[in-house]
Amino acid sequence: MQGWIEDIHARARTRLGSGHVASYIPALARQDPERLGIAVCTNAGELYAAGDAEIPFSIQSIAKVLLLTLALRTHGEGLWERVGLNPSGMPFNSLAQLEAERGKPRNPFINAGAIVVTDRLVSAFATPPKHLRDVARRLSGNDAILIDDGVLASEWQHRSRNAAAAYLMKAFGNLDNEVDEVLHTYFSCCALAMSCKDLAIALSFLAAGGQAQAMDERFVSPGLTRRINSIMSTCGLYDAAGDFAYRVGLPAKSGVGGGIVAVVPGRMTICAWSPALDESGNSVAAQYALELFAEEFDQMPPSG
């Protein structure tokens, strides 16, 4: 498996040079587009990695998986009164549907949806950003994970579009807490800095029926795991979710930091990272690495 991951890494490097790093905040615009890392965490607890797999990067929208998982743990099915379950077919930060659909976002993986989910967590926890950071640490078994203050400050400074979505939802009665506190918590989670290895381990519970590799306890039920994977399949790569499903066919979630986490249910979790993005906001080289991974997956022995 190690040789196989290194081969995929070498082949995916050919895509470096395509796409552009996120430029909406300076902290992300400074990223090196030549970086490429891949890490795999199997359900047997083995870890394989190639390239820049230990360099922390801004997890951005991958945080939406953590936010959703925690909100389903605390609020259960009641969450779906606040947010929908269908693909939006729109860019992740679009406001157009939100007005037409009276402040109920299409799904928890567009920005408006994640902000509603975050509102539920602000109601549930005393210090939500710290709680989210601590969950990321426990899930990955890495106590050094931090919220990047520079990214957080930048997100806050450039918050207008997310603030517009949040105020619109507040006006429709779909946010219980103050907009500023909800946005601060949402940005804090997006600003978590984690490596490919951290993320592959942290989200390993999605491949293992809810059993987290770095924790002794089951993090969520098998049924909840299946449901979260389903939402990743339909909405994880925004308006490009259909293209990605056709080419890769695995539940996945991307972020504008250039990371993508994909799940092979019952087998393993993979994280690929490279900062340059396509026009939908998904990493060019990370998508290609996952495509190569999926194409060769049938060659892998069943125990892999």
3-state secondary structure 67-101: HHHHHHHHHHHHHHHCCCCCCCCCCCCCCHHHHHC
- The values of phi and psi at residue 208, to 5°, are -120, 35
Q: Is 61 a catalytic residue?
A: yes
Asked if 254 interacts with ligand DON (CB under 6 A), we say yes
* CA pair distance 300, 29, nearest whole angstrom: 37
- Sign of the C-alpha dihedral, residues 293, 295, 299, 302? positive
Q: Is 88 a catalytic residue?
A: no
Candidate segments 1-9, 68-76, 130-138, 254-262, binder of ligand DON by CB under 6 A: 254-262
Asked if 31 interacts with ligand DON (CB under 6 A), we say no
- Closest separation in Å from C-beta 123 to ligand DON: 20
Could you tell me if 271 and 39 are in contact, meaning their C-beta atoms sit under 8 angstroms apart? Answer: yes
- Closest separation in Å from C-beta 254 to ligand DON: 5
Q: Is 186 a catalytic residue?
A: yes
Asked if 19 interacts with ligand DON (CB under 6 A), we say no
Kindly identify the residues of this chain, within the stretch 270-289, that bind ligand DON according to CB under 6 A: 281
Which of 69, 94, 162, 225 binds ligand DON (CB under 6 A)? It is 162
* CA pair distance 31, 54, nearest whole angstrom: 15
Which of 61, 88, 213, 229 binds ligand DON (CB under 6 A)? It is 61
Q: Could you tell me which residues come within 8 angstroms of residue 87 by beta carbon, excluding any fewer than 6 positions away?
A: 106, 107, 234, 235, 239, 241, 242
* CA neighbor of 282 nearest in space, from 237, 236, 239: 237
Asked if 111 interacts with ligand DON (CB under 6 A), we say yes
Torsion over CA of 294, 297, 303 and 304, rounded to 10 degrees?
-70
Return the number of other C-beta atoms located less than 10 Å from residue 181's C-beta: 15
Candidate segments 224-232, 242-250, 252-260, 292-300, binder of ligand DON by CB under 6 A: 252-260
Contact mark string toward ligand DON, 183..222, x via CB under 6 A:
-------x--------------------------------
- Closest separation in Å from C-beta 238 to ligand DON: 6
* CA pair distance 86, 238, nearest whole angstrom: 11
- Closest separation in Å from C-beta 159 to ligand DON: 8
User: Binders of ligand DON: how many residues, by CB under 6 A?
Assistant: 12
* CA pair distance 106, 86, nearest whole angstrom: 6
Kindly identify the residues of this chain, within the stretch 83-102, that bind ligand DON according to CB under 6 A: 92-93
**Helical packing angle, 2-12 and 284-296, nearest 10°:** 140
Asked if 60 interacts with ligand DON (CB under 6 A), we say yes
Which of 51, 103, 255, 258 binds ligand DON (CB under 6 A)? It is 255
Which of 155, 198, 239, 291 binds ligand DON (CB under 6 A)? It is 155
Residue 192, H or E segment? strand 192-194
- Closest separation in Å from C-beta 255 to ligand DON: 4
Q: Is 167 a catalytic residue?
A: no
DSSP, collapsed to helix, strand or coil, labels residue 290 as: helix
Binding site for ligand DON (CB under 6 A): 60-61, 92-93, 111, 155, 162, 190, 254-256, 281
Q: Could you list the active site residues?
A: 61, 64, 186, 238, 256
